[in-house]
């Protein structure tokens, strides 16, 4: 992705204009309201009343002209609260794939809305349920503000046009939203590297008593919104940087055998250390995603570039992050491991990743190193094949068999 520093400066310099005259602060109040009120344990009319309160600050996030997602949501919950509750329980089940949850919510709510119109005559719901991908992104962001972003198709299009981000028109709006989430993670990484903006943002949160979102997802969406609709009128695009690469077979590599180090009275929790670097991992995945698209476009295979999937954005834990293609069209299953340091610095492989590499000859581990997450530059070592011989076990699973 291109360097956004000039746009970030413009956004910061126009903060008062965009957050007072445009009154964009309502989004923070909407998140705060939902966070305080939402309680999935409520039943019956208590659930309906709770849902109404939890969303009453959403304003045009859920109701905007002919878009009446909140109206239909509230009215359906008033007559069939337990059925609406069941839809939200399924939507918020993070063990299920995101795409399936969205499709199921749309279809089930549409069916429920029609049944309630026929049975109870809910005139305000009209024939449409209004539970679009945009509305569902709001529900997801409200519930998991550290995982999702507010999605609006027009905003995504305009931001991509202004910044030169590779926007691919797709019929499936869910795929479009997942592409948007990927872009947001790239934007977020650059915003977090701009310390002046981050300091100003947190000072404003305290001064305005707004809902504190330290993960900066809402800040990211607000930045994208303002660049798309109000700022960046004379912004000039720049070209992305392509990484230097080398490719090797896994069997040709050796690894250092280092015993786990003790810290205090126990062993370092490597899993937690990995979680702290998640944002860097996300940025590395997006870097490789763009690299793969450029690779295929440059050899005249834009048709294959359009088919690249960011699998981890939909279902993390399948054993790889990206499904791409070799120059001859052969599928490639890519796991990305990113560091700002040298190539030989330690990284971690999950059991699902190891097993997938063991059972798939088209498995590739992209070791991204010397990575600059702001300017999007770095080097890539591409390792093809089974990773088992390079892995050292550091975690153990325990299943107790007890009569309790």
- The per-residue pLDDT for range 37-59, each reduced to its tens digit, is 999 999 999 999 999 999 999 98
The CA radius of gyration of the chain, in Å to the nearest whole number, is: 23
Which neighbouring-strand residues pair with 384?
249, 364
Q: What is the mean predicted confidence (pLDDT) over 320-341?
A: 92
pLDDT of residue 380: 92
CA angle 104, 105, 109 (to 5 degrees): 115
Specify the higher pLDDT residue, 137 or 270: 137
Structure tokens at 103: 């499709």
More confident residue, 54 or 164: 54
Chain mean pLDDT for the chain: 82
- Residues 58 and 29: their CA atoms lie apart, in Å, by 8
**Which one is predicted more confidently, 252 or 366?**
366
The secondary element (H helix, E strand) that includes residue 397 is none
pLDDT in tens, 196-231: 999 888 887 765 555 556 679 989 999 998 898 888
Pairing of strands 244-249, 377-384: parallel
pLDDT of residue 233: 67
Say how many C-beta atoms besides its own lie within 10 A of residue 207's C-beta: 8
| pTM (whole model) above 0.75 | no
Cα separation, 115 vs 330, in Å, equals: 47
Instruction: Give the pLDDT of residue 22.
Output: 44
* Position 307 pLDDT exceeds 60: yes
- Give the DSSP per-residue string, 242-283: PPEEEEEEGGG------PPPEETTEE--HHHHHHHTHHHHHH
Judge whether residue 149 has pLDDT over 90. Answer: yes
Residue 125 has pLDDT above 70, yes or no: no
Q: Is the alpha carbon torsion for 183, 186, 188, 194 positive or negative?
A: negative
Contacts of 64 (CB under 8 A, 6+ apart): none
Tell me what pLDDT residue 181 has: 92
Q: Is the pLDDT of residue 144 over 90?
A: yes
On the CB side of 194, CA atoms within 13 Å amount to 24
Beta bridge partners of 333: 323, 363
Which has more confidence, 255 or 46?
Answer: 46
When pLDDT is averaged across residues 258-268 and rounded to a whole number, the result is 47
User: Which of 125-139, 147-161, 178-192, 247-261 has the weakest average pLDDT?
Assistant: 247-261
Q: Are 186 and 3 in contact (CB under 8 A)?
A: no
**What is the mean pLDDT of the segment spanning 86-108?**
94
User: Which residue(s) pair with 335 in the sheet?
Assistant: 365
Closest by alpha carbon to 245, among 385, 379, 384? 379
Measured on CA atoms in the order 285, 349, 144, 24, is the torsion positive or negative?
Answer: negative
pLDDT class for 327, splitting at 50, 70, 90? confident
The C-alpha atoms of residue 98 and residue 313 are separated, in whole angstroms, by 9
Torsion of CA 305, 309, 312, 315, to 10 degrees: 170
Torsion of CA 123, 92, 36, 313, to 10 degrees: -110
pLDDT of residue 211: 59
In 3-state terms, what secondary structure has residue 160?
helix
What pairing do the DSSP bridges indicate for beta strands 262-263 and 266-267?
Answer: antiparallel
Residue 21 has pLDDT above 90, yes or no: no
Q: Which residue has the tokens 């700022």?
A: 231
Give CA torsion, residues 29, 33, 36, 40, to 10 deg. -140
- Quick one: pLDDT at residue 214? 63
Beta 266-267 vs 322-325: how paired, if at all? unpaired
Question: Hey, how many other C-beta atoms are within 10 angstroms of the C-beta on 109?
Answer: 23
Q: 119-133, 230-244, 373-387: which range is least confident on average?
A: 230-244
Give 310's pLDDT tier (boundaries 50, 70, 90): confident
Give the position of tokens 């859920």: 62
Please tell me whether residue 153 adopts helix, strand or coil conformation.
Answer: helix
pLDDT of residue 65: 65
Check residue 397 and give its pLDDT.
67
Give the Å distances, CA to CA, from 293 to 32, 148, 309.
39, 24, 10
pLDDT, mean of residues 259-268:
46
Q: Which two tokens stand for residue 153?
A: 């198709």
Q: Which pairing describes strands 67-68 and 63-64: parallel, antiparallel, or unpaired?
A: antiparallel
CB hemisphere CA count around 2 (13 angstroms): 17
Confidence band, pLDDT 50/70/90 cuts, at residue 117: confident
């Amino acid at each position: 992705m291109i360097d956004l520093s000039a746009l970030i400066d413009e956004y910061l310099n126009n903060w008062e204009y965009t957050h007072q005259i445009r009154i964009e602060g309502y989004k923070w109040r909407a998140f705060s309201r939902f966070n305080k009120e939402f309680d999935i344990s409520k039943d019956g009319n208590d659930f309906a009343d709770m849902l109404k309160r939890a969303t009453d600050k959403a304003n045009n996030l859920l109701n905007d002209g002919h878009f009446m997602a909140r109206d239909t949501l509230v009215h359906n919950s008033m007559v069939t609260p337990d059925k609406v509750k069941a839809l939200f329980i399924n939507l918020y089940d993070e063990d299920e794939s995101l795409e399936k949850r969205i499709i199921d919510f749309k279809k089930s709510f549409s069916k429920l809305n029609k049944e309630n119109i026929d049975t109870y005559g809910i005139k305000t719901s009209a024939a449409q349920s209004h539970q679009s991908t945009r509305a569902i992104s709001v529900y997801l962001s409200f519930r998991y503000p550290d995982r999702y972003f507010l999605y609006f198709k027009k905003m995504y299009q305009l931001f991509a046009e202004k910044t030169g981000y590779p926007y691919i028109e797709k019929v499936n709006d869910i795929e479009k939203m997942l592409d948007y989430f990927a872009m947001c993670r790239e934007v977020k990484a650059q915003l977090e590297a701009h310390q002046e903006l981050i300091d100003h943002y947190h000072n404003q949160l305290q001064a305005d008593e707004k809902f504190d979102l330290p993960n900066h997802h809402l800040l990211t969406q607000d930045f994208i919104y303002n660049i798309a609709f109000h700022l960046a009128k004379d912004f000039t695009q720049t070209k992305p940087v392509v990484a230097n690469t080398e490719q090797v077979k896994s069997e040709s590599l050796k690894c250092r055998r280092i015993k786990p180090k003790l810290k205090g009275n126990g062993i370092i929790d490597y899993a937690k250390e990995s979680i702290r670097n998640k944002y860097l991992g996300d940025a590395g995945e997006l870097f490789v995603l763009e690299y793969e698209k450029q690779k295929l476009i440059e050899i005249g295979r834009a048709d294959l570039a359009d088919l690249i999937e960011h699998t981890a954005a939909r279902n993390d834990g399948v054993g790889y992050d990206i499904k791409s293609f070799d120059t001859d069209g052969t599928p490639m299953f890519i796991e990305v491991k990113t560091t700002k340091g040298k190539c030989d610095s330690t990284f971690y492989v999950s059991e699902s990743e190891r097993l997938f590499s063991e059972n798939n000859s088209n498995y590739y581990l992209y070791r991204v190193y010397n990575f600059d997450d702001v300017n999007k530059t770095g080097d890539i070592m591409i390792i093809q094949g089974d990773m088992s011989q390079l892995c050292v076990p550091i975690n153990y699973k325990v299943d107790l068999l007890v009569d309790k």
